[in-house]
Homo-oligomer: A and B are copies of this chain.
Amino acid sequence: MIVLIAKYHVKPGNVAAVLGHLREMSPKVAASEPGCRQYQVAQSNDNENLLVLVEHYVDEAALAAHREMPHFKDIIEGKVVPLLDKREREILTLQIG
């Protein structure tokens, strides 16, 4: 299983809007991406403007497909990314869990 950990550094004042967009994203991923087995979003307790997404994909193809979905382009690229100062991505392989 591939694990994507994405850190979204949100422009101050926009975290509620970004969370709203991600709440719209989550059911679309669940409904149309069988290769995505987990889509979690957490907010740092030390920095309210830092969101961390922990996503699981069955393989590289499922991760690549995620980035080509209309909801990824509309919601993430179209609405979320303009509200971020910075995005960091780390790709890992699930070993336990």
Instruction: Show the binding face of A for B, using Cβ within 8 Å.
Output: 3, 5, 19, 22-23, 26, 38-46, 51-52, 54, 90-97
Contact = CB atoms under 8 A, between A and B. Distances in A.
Contact of A19 (B38, B42, B52, B95): B95
B5 A52 contact: yes
A36 to B, nearest CB: 11
Contacts of A94: 40-42
A46 B42 CA distance: 23
A45 B96 contact: no
Contacts of A44: 90-92
A90 B43 CA distance: 10
Contact of A41 (B46, B90, B97): B97
